[in-house]
A and B are shown apart, each in its own frame.
Chain A
């Protein structure tokens, strides 16, 4: 067995060499990084004896000597974004990172009508670091989360997206992280900061995609919504099948703001997503949707935490999992209603569809309610395709395989239908239809009622 000291030793020595290159960074940030590193040294990687990691064993991550992707040279350069990772041409600004580093060549930030300011963190840290001090690492806490601590200590680049006061961005923004194959196991630490100032509206897609190799992505996204801001956020995870993907999204939303986030997990061998939202102003609304698809031996863990800190807020959460072969899905949804957060209206649903006898789903709703005039409901199901529905389709002439395939697709459809960026929704529908288990002889359904 590897001791905490040994496994964190690798990261300590990596941090020591990183520290030497941090001269250009402001002292506050260097201080934050050191504190985060210290915290990681104490925490070590989580074990399954910790409640939050009970079903997810990250020992494989701790055993592999990952090196920062920025210190390695990839096998092949990338001169364009592989077609399989995008859904046609993107209708707005696009910022692309390859192995955690900004790629000017692949990005498309000019020539758009969008009022949104998009910059890469790596450059901002050098040119205008103090702009970041109000929010960077102010939201995503690293005290209790070893991976957030590691990201905070090691991040080099990422996106900074600012939606200036009183603007509506018609075009969606795409932030894409591509991982390519390396000779050695590589880790990248994408770091995103999204700031929606008051009276704004924007749509943002974060994508993570990678080639088939042994690598890790440890991503942190911090989102702040000022009063009356509306942000519709998507997270599409299509890592390579041997990849490790750990992410934290921390959103802090203010009075009358409206935040929705949709987490779609398709790739990765071991995946853990934390989505934490604090509703910190009256009238704020949060929507958390999630769709996870597992096959082979994939392990996908989604932890969400909705913190109702103020009165008159609402949250809606729907996570659905489709698990085939020996895949395992974990859902843990915590809803906290603080004292004084009266009239909170919160609804959480988790549904899992198991397509094989060996697939497994764990679902764990947790409600902590400290106010007395609230409406909170939660429901969770784990089930198989309905034999009645299968028979109904077959009795109309649709073959068994197609019937199963269509019903599986339909299970996901109330989530895909909620995707408001048309190219993402349609692209994902095609992707799901062709990737779901079963050989569908049918065409992709594209009609929708609206």
Chain B
């Protein structure tokens, strides 16, 4: 589904990604872990098309298409969803209006009929129940005045409504208390499906107690330096990132 080859990217002329290679197949859950500043969030932003990040080398294929040629909205319509690390407040636009507009843009792109207000409400109710999200969140303006946990839950709720093929969760677990964390994890697990892939970007192993990844990758200094199964996450939790960084330092010649 997603194939990243030798991806290099910079922001404000500062190279952040220095050759990422990653393959994600439908149905898989991948966790990308790494110390602060290793490029995890940059990878998420580049995949979703943030214009302030510049790709300097490499390619990204999504279902065989050159993803980097697509605008952010085209990527979303093709089925990529990014759960933001810092969801943006949009005063004056209600969550339901926003989501209906988004969903119908995607449906239109897929050649599906747009949902009317009734059908959309039905879908919202169904997903609210599934995700354990309360009504209050839905009718308020997008993220305005939401607590950190509410914002993250709202991201997961949006994901449920928009039904993406590839969901990228950018540190969705950061700053969450255990209850919110469970709701977020539950949301991901409920949505886990054969046709969908999930990339969970996280700094902590904690979320992976609830979401079991098929693969764990460690990102250090803009490269994936180690990949493994879910046990790698536990090792990282126990030993921290230091040992990997040392391994990398000794293995890669200093330029």
**In A347-391, which residues have CB < 8 Å from any B CB?**
386-389, 391
Complex alpha-carbon distance, A338 and B84, angstroms = 50
Shortest Cβ distance from B80 into A: residue: A395
Please state if B50 and A391 are interface contacts (CB–CB under 8 Å): yes
Shortest Cβ distance from A442 into B: residue: B101
**In A399-417, which residues have CB < 8 Å from any B CB?**
399-400, 402-403, 406-407, 409-414
Sorted from nearest, which 3 A-B pairs have the closest CB atoms?
Answer: A410-B92, A413-B92, A397-B76
- Give 7 new A-B contacts, CB below 8 A, not counting A387-B52, A396-B76: A386-B88, A393-B102, A395-B84, A403-B73, A442-B101, A445-B93, A447-B96
How many residues of chain A are within 8 Å of chain B by beta carbon? Answer: 31
Shortest Cβ distance from B140 into A: residue: A449
Contacts of A395 in B (CB 8 A): 48-49, 72-73, 75-76, 81-82, 84
**In A323-351, which residues have CB < 8 Å from any B CB?**
none
Complex alpha-carbon distance, A414 and B141, angstroms = 11
Please state if A407 and B158 are interface contacts (CB–CB under 8 Å): no
Please state if B102 and A398 are interface contacts (CB–CB under 8 Å): yes
B71 in contact (CB, < 8 A): yes
B110 to chain A, nearest CB (A): 10
A448 in contact (CB, < 8 A): yes
Complex alpha-carbon distance, A258 and B75, angstroms = 52
B65 in contact (CB, < 8 A): no
- Can you list 6 pairs linking A and B with CB atoms under 8 Å apart? A388-B88, A393-B98, A394-B49, A397-B73, A410-B93, A414-B91
Please state if B72 and A394 are interface contacts (CB–CB under 8 Å): yes
Please state if B105 and A398 are interface contacts (CB–CB under 8 Å): yes
Complex alpha-carbon distance, A387 and B139, angstroms = 24
B90 in contact (CB, < 8 A): yes
Complex alpha-carbon distance, A11 and B76, angstroms = 63
Please state if A391 and B72 are interface contacts (CB–CB under 8 Å): yes
Please state if A397 and B139 are interface contacts (CB–CB under 8 Å): no
Residues 46-81 of chain B: 1 if any A CB is under 8 Å from the residue's CB, otherwise 0? Answer: 001111100000000000000000011101110001
Complex alpha-carbon distance, A395 and B159, angstroms = 11
DSSP majority for the A interface? helix
Contacts of A448 in B (CB 8 A): 94
B15 in contact (CB, < 8 A): no
**In B140-164, which residues have CB < 8 Å from any A CB?**
140-141, 158, 162
State which of B109, B139, B141, B162 has its C-beta within 8 Å of the C-beta of A396: B162
B29 in contact (CB, < 8 A): no
How many residues of chain B are within 8 Å of chain A by beta carbon? Answer: 37
B150 to chain A, nearest CB (A): 15
Pick the most buried of B51, B81, B94, B106: most chain A CB atoms within 10 A of its CB.
B94
- Using a CB–CB cutoff of 8 Å, the interface residues on chain B facing chain A are 48-52, 71-73, 75-77, 81-82, 84, 87-94, 96-99, 101-103, 105-106, 109, 139-141, 158, 162
Please state if A400 and B73 are interface contacts (CB–CB under 8 Å): yes
A28 in contact (CB, < 8 A): no
Complex alpha-carbon distance, A394 and B73, angstroms = 5
B75 to chain A, nearest CB (A): 8
Please state if B90 and A399 are interface contacts (CB–CB under 8 Å): no
Contacts of B141 in A (CB 8 A): 410, 449
Shortest Cβ distance from A407 into B: residue: B90
A101 to chain B, nearest CB (A): 40
A392 in contact (CB, < 8 A): yes
Contacts of A387 in B (CB 8 A): 52
Complex alpha-carbon distance, A389 and B52, angstroms = 14
Contacts of B91 in A (CB 8 A): 410, 413-414
Question: Do A406 and B101 form a contact, CB below 8 Å, given A392-B88, A392-B90, A449-B94?
Answer: yes
Complex alpha-carbon distance, A445 and B89, angstroms = 17
Complex alpha-carbon distance, A399 and B109, angstroms = 11
Pick the most buried of A391, A402, A411, A442: most chain B CB atoms within 10 A of its CB.
A391
Complex alpha-carbon distance, A448 and B77, angstroms = 27
**In A413-450, which residues have CB < 8 Å from any B CB?**
413-414, 441-443, 445, 447-449
Contacts of A441 in B (CB 8 A): 105
Pick the most buried of B87, B92, B96, B162: most chain A CB atoms within 10 A of its CB.
B92
A439 to chain B, nearest CB (A): 14
Question: Do A396 and B98 form a contact, CB below 8 Å, given A391-B72, A449-B140?
Answer: yes
Shortest Cβ distance from B78 into A: residue: A397
Shortest Cβ distance from A414 into B: residue: B92
Complex alpha-carbon distance, A204 and B88, angstroms = 38
Please state if B106 and A397 are interface contacts (CB–CB under 8 Å): yes
State which of B50, B81, B90, B92 has its C-beta within 8 Å of the C-beta of A393: B90
Contacts of B48 in A (CB 8 A): 395
Contacts of A398 in B (CB 8 A): 73, 98, 101-102, 105
State which of B51, B84, B101 has its C-beta within 8 Å of the C-beta of A392: B84
Please state if B90 and A389 are interface contacts (CB–CB under 8 Å): yes
Contacts of A449 in B (CB 8 A): 94, 139-141
Shortest Cβ distance from A392 into B: residue: B88
B122 to chain A, nearest CB (A): 16
